Structure 1
Amino acid sequence: MEIERINENTVKFYLSYGDIEDRGFSKEDVWYNRDKSEELFWDMMDELGDDTEFEVEGPLWIQVNAMNEGIEVIVTRAHLPKNAESSQFPFGIEDPEELFDPIFDAINETEEDSEEEVQVNDKLFVFRDFDELIPLASQMASLEDPFETQLYAFEGRYYLNLRFDYTLIDTKRAKDIISMITEYGILSKMSIHRIEEYGTAVMESDAFAQIDKYFS
């Protein structure tokens, strides 16, 4: 395994599939066995050692890239703004082991992406209150751009999933739409798969149109 310290808050791991097997895991364990994936991740973190001065505290942002010969994992330690609550972040400071669902969902998604060019992309946004969605929906409901929306409730927050098909919309326009939404909500690092499994579906389609119709 290769470890590279990018800066004081970021570290990068590279594991070949041989490295993974040497640790007693298989490629299938990483892709499909959440407990094994969790064990592998903490095994990696344990190898950082005291010299790196990289402590697992506060929210961590994770980027996972699947490659032909192995996986690359970039871990960034974020800093809580003053007066911020840990619940505003996808990974709370109280329980860093909550990392694993989103981390290894991301690995699975990346593996699938490597097999074929994926043109459908999900963006997940989190809102503290339903009322934050009402003025946003008034703006978005009139747009004729091709995208899908679903709304979920999970742990006292509302999650809006925005799905683009990039065969139908160009990247610049998609970024414009994302910017409009981030004026009201926060782009979440939570996996849509986790939200679909553990959250409650509030609106399964056309969320903006429904909110605008019934609440504006």
Structure 2
Amino acid sequence: MEKERINENTIRVMIDNSDLKDRGITVMELLGNHEKIESFFYNILSEVDTEHDFEDDDQVSFQILPNRNGLELFISRLDEENKISDILDNITNFSSKQPANIDNISDKRRQELRQSDKGDIVKSKVSSSDHKDGSQENFENTQVILALSDFENAIAIANSLKIENLVSDLYLYEGAYYLNLLVPDHSVSQEQLKNELAIALEFSRISHVTHEVLHEHGQLILKHEALEKIKSLFS
């Protein structure tokens, strides 16, 4: 287990799978049942806060970013000058400085993908410039944003959907998880799309939160291939 002090209010702790095994807990338990592992978080805090900067009466927030080797735990102290939005900014700013795969979705494409305030399933035309092969054909995509009650539902959806070329982003916003799905219409029939979405809705509901709100105010946990990454971790 390693730690890094990001600023006076936030500590980043890297916990690998062997550490979790030694402590008798799994990543799935950490993501699926927050109450159960509260003592685990505070035990970690007591181990890494060697300078006792986090007093017993401080309010503390814990944020988890899972990865293939374990997880990153961000421990943040809350006070009047350090709100939740600042904590998420700390995590986002830190992550933006780390090496990462380039998001294949262009800014232009993101701009075109809009969702109505009623949480409708939206179709949007995407230009050929977004094709990896540079083809000149225009096509439409279907965008759906799903609200999840917990992370285990994201695992269930990841292991259930069978849509090729599916683009998926996982967000955390106001304590809830959201999946932003972008389905290329040329790769799936309307009947198949309807059936796949029916499966997804067994574990979620259509969200009234727009992609713009998630992008601006939510925490992006997994980008572009969220469902594939979740499936590789938890299948």
TM bracket, shorter-chain basis? 0.3 to 0.5
* Structure with greater helix share of residues: 1
